[in-house]
């Protein structure tokens, strides 16, 4: 009985204007209408976005509803230009926002973090600029953040959500250091920071990331030595940091990463001997590594394999 009264009062409070409990709240329709008003839509993709359609906005192009709330907003590849309205914050049940491969400009409205259930944000291939709002990078439920190929700048402030699995911010102009406080609880499987302006050293805390499979750090301004703790990333398949200013030795521990397939460290200032452990283990067995790119460094040679066996550089 208590439950029934409680539900009734929520419906009543939210929808009393219509006397309905099975329609999308007017605030969500208004939020989408304001979103549309900020856009230029040369293909007329949003022409059918009409508040008087039978089940607006759930029958609009790009909208997915669940339980009469907007769950997904998906409008990729439609030549949309203009800015992302901060009114999207009113879509409080939004799980997925996909606006990639358009011509959007302006910044990501920080108010979007009010959509606290957001799991996936796809904004790659636009002309968005400004900083990445810390409140969004730290959204509790966020699993995918792809903002690659935009014009984002500034530093990464604050924490990275522990739920994040896929973090692609490549091909922007983001600067500062790589965040140094990765934790063992992190779910990160892919980190792509390539083609930015990151500087400083690769933090040893990256060794905390037990689920990390892909680490792309190419074309930044990273310096210092690669931390040997990176070998602690037991799931790592791909490690690339080409075109930086890394110095010193390649940590021999890299050879002990069980599933590593690609190691790309060309165009740095690495020196000393390339550890043979990258290619084979103490028994002379091949490692899992399929591709090694080490050109344009200052290596003096390749260390003798642990068992004195001949080294084979390429194999498929």
Ligand X SMILES: *[C@@H]1O[C@H](CO)[C@@H](O)[C@H](O)[C@H]1NC(C)=O
214 scored as a contact of ligand X (CB under 6 A): yes
CB 275 within 8 A of CB 253: no
Candidate list 181, 271, 288, 307; residue touching ligand X; CB under 6 A: 181
Counted residue by residue, the chain has a size of: 316
Other beta carbons within 10 angstroms of residue 17's beta carbon come to: 8
- Binding of residue 79 to ligand X (CB under 6 A): no
Q: Does 170 bind ligand X (CB under 6 A)?
A: yes
Asked if residue 179 binds ligand X (CB under 6 A), the reply is yes
Asked if 192 is part of the footprint of ligand X (rule: CB under 6 A), the reply reads yes
Q: In the complex, what is the shortest distance from the CB of residue 106 to ligand X, in angstroms, rounded to a whole number?
A: 4
Collect all residues with Cβ–Cβ distance below 8 Å to 265 and sequence separation of at least 6. 226, 240, 241, 242, 246, 250, 293, 294, 297
- Residue of 87, 143, 244, 287 that binds ligand X (CB under 6 A): 87
Please answer whether residues 182 and 210 qualify as being in contact, where contact means their C-beta atoms are separated by less than 8 angstroms. Answer: no
Site size toward ligand X (CB under 6 A) is 34
Which residue is at the shortest CB distance from ligand X? 207
93-96, Cβ contacts within 8 angstroms, sequence gap of 24 or more: 93/66, 93/67, 93/69, 93/117, 94/70, 94/118, 95/71, 95/119, 95/120, 96/64, 96/71, 96/72, 96/120, 96/121, 96/122
When binding is defined by CB under 6 A, the residue of 15, 21, 23, 34 that contacts ligand X is 34
Binding to ligand X, residues 280-309 (CB under 6 A): 283, 285
For the bound state, the minimum distance from the C-beta of residue 67 to ligand X, rounded and expressed in Å, comes to 19
> Could you tell me the smallest distance in angstroms from the CB atom of residue 188 to ligand X?
13
Q: Near ligand X by CB under 6 A, which window of 9-17, 57-65, 83-91, 300-308?
A: 83-91
Q: To the nearest whole angstrom, how small is the minimum distance from the Cβ of residue 3 to ligand X?
A: 28
Of residues 208, 264, 267, 277, which one binds ligand X by CB under 6 A? Answer: 208
Residues engaged in binding ligand X (CB under 6 A): 27, 30-31, 34, 83, 87, 90, 105-106, 138, 140, 148, 157-159, 168, 170-171, 179, 181, 184, 192, 194-195, 204, 207-208, 210, 214, 216, 229, 232, 283, 285
């Amino acid at each position: 009985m208590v439950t029934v009264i409680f539900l009734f009062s929520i419906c009543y409070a939210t929808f009393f204007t219509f006397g309905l409990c099975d329609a999308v709240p007017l605030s969500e329709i208004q939020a989408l209408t304001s979103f549309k008003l900020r856009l230029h839509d040369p293909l007329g993709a949003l022409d059918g976005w009409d508040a008087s359609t039978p089940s607006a906005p759930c029958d609009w192009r790009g909208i997915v509803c669940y339980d009469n709330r907007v769950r997904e907003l998906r409008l990729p590849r439609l030549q949309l230009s203009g800015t992302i309205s901060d009114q999207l914050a009113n879509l409080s049940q939004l799980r997925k926002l996909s606006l990639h491969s358009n011509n959007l400009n302006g910044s990501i409205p920080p108010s979007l973090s009010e959509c606290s259930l957001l799991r996936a944000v796809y904004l790659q291939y636009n002309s968005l600029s400004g900083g990445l709002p810390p409140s969004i990078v730290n959204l509790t439920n966020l699993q995918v953040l792809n903002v690659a190929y935009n014009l984002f700048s500034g530093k990464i402030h604050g924490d990275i959500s522990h739920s994040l699995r896929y973090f692609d911010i490549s091909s922007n102009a983001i600067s500062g250091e790589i965040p140094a406080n990765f934790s063992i609880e992190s779910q990160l499987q892919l980190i792509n920071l390539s083609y930015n302006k990151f500087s400083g050293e690769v933090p040893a805390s990256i060794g905390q990331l037990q689920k990390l499979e892909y680490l792309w750090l190419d074309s930044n301004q990273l310096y210092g030595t690669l931390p040997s703790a990176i070998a602690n990333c037991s799931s790592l398949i791909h490690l690339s940091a080409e075109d930086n200013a890394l110095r010193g030795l390649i940590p021999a521990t890299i050879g002990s990463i069980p599933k590593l397939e690609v190691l790309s460290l060309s165009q740095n200032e690495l020196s000393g001997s390339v550890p043979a452990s990258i290619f084979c283990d103490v028994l002379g067995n091949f490692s899992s590594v399929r591709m090694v790119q080490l050109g344009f460094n200052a290596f003096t040679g390749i260390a003798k394999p642990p068992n004195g066996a001949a080294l084979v550089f390429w194999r498929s």
